[in-house]
Amino acid sequence: MLQPSESHDISGAAGDPTTAPVRLAGDGGRSGPNPPSTSVITKTKPRTKRPNLYRVLILNDDYTPMEFVVHVLEKFFQMDVEAATKVMLHVHHHGIGECGVFTYEIAETKVTQVMDFARKHQHPLQCVMEKK
Ligand code: TYC
């Protein structure tokens, strides 16, 4: 008499080495032929990390025309003429003022754009960035 384990399997999956459950030694026979299905639940915390932020600042000087500074703030910092004039006058009176807050690469780009533009027009306007 053939035992079930000796029979020639013609039913498909059970005898298919690619799908047959692996029988593990020492599992008390719980692994097959139909072992209880188990799964591993991995908890991944929804981690949102905030980027480092940088202030872009302009500095006062005695020579750069007020209209040029207003133009810079409109051109590179998307300010309207009223906001740009307020910032320019703040810098004129206090020596330094904020143009905006950006991630590192954007802040660096703004500083370069302002410095290149000021140099091109031969104005000594200075623009810097500082970590918040
Ligand atoms: N102090 C300049 C002047 O009187 C105007 C000025 C304002 C220059 C802001 C630079 O960042 C600046 N012409």
pTM, full prediction: 0.72
Q: At what angle do helices 66-77 and 104-120 cross, to 10 degrees?
A: 140
Residue pLDDT tens, the chain, 132 long: 334 333 333 333 333 443 333 433 444 444 455 556 789 888 999 899 999 999 999 999 999 999 999 999 999 999 999 999 999 999 999 999 999 999 999 999 999 999 999 999 999 999 999 999
Domain boundaries, the chain: 63-131
Among 93, 90, 87, 58, CA closest to 70? 87
Q: For ligand 1, atom 5, name the residue with the nearest CA.
A: 66
Distance 93 CA to ligand 1 centre (A): 9
- HSE-CB of 5 using CA atoms within 13 angstroms: 3
Distance 131 CA to ligand 1 centre (A): 24
Distance 86 CA to ligand 1 centre (A): 12
pLDDT of res. 42: 87
Q: For ligand 1, atom 13, name the residue with the nearest CA.
A: 65
Pocket residues: Cβ below 6 A from ligand 1 = 58-62, 64-66, 69, 88, 91-92, 125
Fold adopted by 63-131: Ribosomal Protein L30; Chain: A, (3.30.1390)
Q: What is the Cα–Cα distance from 99 to 78, expressed in whole angstroms?
A: 10
